[in-house]
Structure 1
Amino acid sequence: MAHQEPSSLSDSTWNVVDKIRQSPPVDLSKPYDTSTLSGKSILITGAASGFGAAFARHWASHGANIFIGDLNDTAGEQLIAELRSSSPSQHHAYFHCDVTSWNDQVSLFKSAIAASPTQGIDCVVAGAGIVDVANSFDTPKSLDSNNEPVQPKLKVVEVNLKGVMYTTHLSLFYLPRNSTPESEKRDRHILLVSSVAGIMPLPSQTEYSASKHAVMGLFRSLRSTSYMNHGVRLNVINPYFVETPLLTPGGRVLLAGAPKGKVEDVVDAATRLVADEGIVGRALLIGPKMKVEEDDWMPSLDSPGGEEEGKRSRAVWEIYGHDYEKVETFVWRYLTMLNVLKSVYGWKKTAMEWWGIFRGGSSSQQ
């Protein structure tokens, strides 16, 4: 049979996008409606500081109920006290949680659901993450004079991947079980927090880069099933280097004088994904704001004074915008090749077996 490719990527036979109900590319030039945040119950891991704390403050200001889990009890309790003071009519709570502990995370979800005014969670942000300041993975050490290697500490992977996978798994369990009468109409959303290190290597932080690449693998796998099977939207943000507690002293030295991302731009991108209930399966990268000529990847750093003619200023970019169309074509072709190879191998194996029988011998040795 002659090799045939899909006549068009829009052909329903091959269009994975239609089947998984992925939303169109995000139009970052359009405003979004924050009123959808009002009344939502949002659970955020790792929210005692950094991006999580910024998300909590911003979303609470728009009427959301915020529940956070973290190991930093002092900072976590202080943040919740602040939110309760600024929005006393809403429900906010802090819960001690080690995201690498399954039991801690189960307790976190149950406690947040019990504290929610709707007895359910609408959105979960898997935001807990750490870095290896000592960069121990790249610098193997010997245990003693016998020159035995020291087992590496993989705490970064434990928190950044195992913890995120626990959070995501529990979200897929509890979000569809929102207990309110109108539960079928409620928006359900998981927001993963990766990093620019999830799409490009960060040589000085190998373990961190590996964990964030894995988060992107989690996103790219689940975005094809979470909404289709569970009615749960899944999106991800990838911040560039930003002034948060996660930026190591070495990172600050490396980036001295170089442009960095801004927390407010990360908050804006995350808020768009949480508030716009039509965005499904999309990834946003947030970096330093630049002026970019239309259809030309030659940026200039943003500066005061408004946008120059023919240029637009932006800090947020969509990544993997069209990869399903490209990937499905590649996979179709690759599977076609594998099937052809399998057929050829199967024919060859059968022929060898028959030849062995004809000669009165065995075909087990090939």
Structure 2
Amino acid sequence: MDTERLSGKKALITGGAQGMGAAIAKHWAAQGAAVCVADINEEGIAKVAQEIRDAGGQATHFKLDVTDEDQAIAAVAHVVKEFGEINLLLNNAGVNKPTIFPDTPKENYDFIMNVNAWGSFNVMKQVSKQMIAQGARKDYPYKIINVGSILSREAFLDVIPYSMAKHAVLGLIKGGA
């Protein structure tokens, strides 16, 4: 593995307390990036950040509810305070509560749409503002990665709200490009 590939890069990773987010945080740190592991699960992000530091990487963590604008602004400010800038975003936070379509409670629908669609938009918006304020970079263009799903192109009866939310994320990806 090229341990210098991301040397000098500063990343914010949402949904970083477990699963794919935690794995990517560790991988990017092993490649030289300084990473901020963000998630609503404070115990999980503290653990992942410590594991990165124990392995010789540079990491911090930030408790983040991606649906809260003020918290997203604060997360970006935290990355800039800790690392001096932000030039990578992995917008990975997401939730699902599978239920058969006619039985889906409004609360489930709202929660899934709010975290997946609005949360992705919210964090990308705040990170984009910071990247614009930092100015253009020729040596390393800024990168924003929004995690979608095969369900942004497919739909199944028990995950319709999730599929709708991931369709919205696909729109965000296309619009932001």
Fold agreement, TM-score > 0.5: yes
Matched, 1:175 2:131: yes
* Aligned partner of residue 28 in structure 2, secondary structure: helix
Aligned-partner Cα distance in 2 for 1:77–1:136: 35
Matching of residue 129 in structure 1 with residue 129 in structure 2:
no
Within the candidate set 79, 89, 110, 2:48 is matched to 79
Task: Determine if the alignment matches structure 1 residue 65 to structure 2 residue 34.
Answer: yes
Pairing partner for 1:139 from 103, 124, 129: 103
Match of 1:222 in 2: 176
The 2-side partners of 1:183 and 1:217 are apart by 26
What is the aligned partner in structure 1 of residue 154 from structure 2?
Answer: 200
Q: How does 1:271-350 map to 2 (within 5 A)?
A: none
RMSD over aligned CA atoms reads 2.1
Q: Provide closer, same or farther for how the CA distance between residues 164 and 128 of structure 1 changes in structure 2, counting only shifts above 3 A.
A: same
Q: Which of 85, 92, 103 matches 1:120?
A: 85
Structure 1 residue 77: Cα displacement: 0.5
AA matched with 1:105:
A
User: Once the 2 structures are TM-superposed, how far is the Cα of residue 137 of structure 1 from its aligned partner?
Assistant: 5.3
Whichever structure has more helix as a proportion of its residues is 2
CA distance in 2, matches of 1:203, 1:34: 43
Cα distance in 1, alignment partners of residues 102 and 25 from structure 2: 35
SS for the counterpart of 1:37 is coil
Shift of 1:187: 2.1
User: How far is the alpha carbon of 1:208 from its aligned partner?
Assistant: 0.4
Q: Please say if residues 137 and 152 of structure 1, whose CA atoms lie closer than 8 Å, have aligned partners that are also in contact.
A: no
Question: Which residue of the partner structure matches residue 155 of structure 1?
Answer: 111
The one-letter code of the counterpart of 1:93 is: T
**CA deviation vs aligned residue, 1:257-298 (integer Å, no higher than 9, x gap):** xxxxxxxxxxxxxxxxxxxxxxxxxxxxxxxxxxxxxxxxxx
Corresponding residue for 1:254?
Answer: none
Q: Is the CA contact (8 Å cut-off) linking 1:176 and 1:188 kept in structure 2?
A: no
Whether contact under 8 Å (2:87, 2:143) holds in the other structure is yes
Higher CA-based Rg: 1
What is the SS of the residue equivalent to 1:217? helix
Is the counterpart of residue 45 in structure 1 residue 45 in structure 2?
no
Distance 2:60 2:7 in 1: 17
**Structure 1 residues not aligned, in runs of 5+:** 1-31, 142-150, 224-366
Is the partner of 1:175 in helix, strand or coil? helix
- State the Cα distance separating 1:38 from its structure 2 match: 1.4
Residue 92 (1) aligns with residue 48 (2): no
Does the 8 Å contact 2:11/2:89 carry over to 1? yes
Cα 1:95–1:165 change in 2 (3 A) is: same
Shift of 1:62: 1.0
Measured in 1, the distance between the counterparts of 2:176 and 2:138 equals: 21
Contact 2:96 2:162 in 1 (8 A): yes
Question: Cα deviations across residues 64-92 of structure 1 (Å, max 9, x unaligned)?
Answer: 111021111111101111100101xx431
| Match of residue 120 from structure 2 | 164
What amino acid maps onto 1:48 in structure 2?
A: A
Structure 2 counterpart of 1:139, which letter? D
Per the TM alignment, residue 171 of structure 1 is displaced from its structure 2 partner at its CA by 1.9
Report the residue type matching 2:131 in the other structure.
Answer: L
Amino acid at match of 1:107: A
Residues 1:212 and 2:155 aligned together: no
Q: Which amino acid aligns with 2:174?
A: R
For the 8 Å contact 1:136–1:152, the answer to whether it is kept is no
TM-score normalized by structure 1? Answer: 0.45
Residue 61 of structure 1 and its aligned partner are, at CA, apart by 0.9
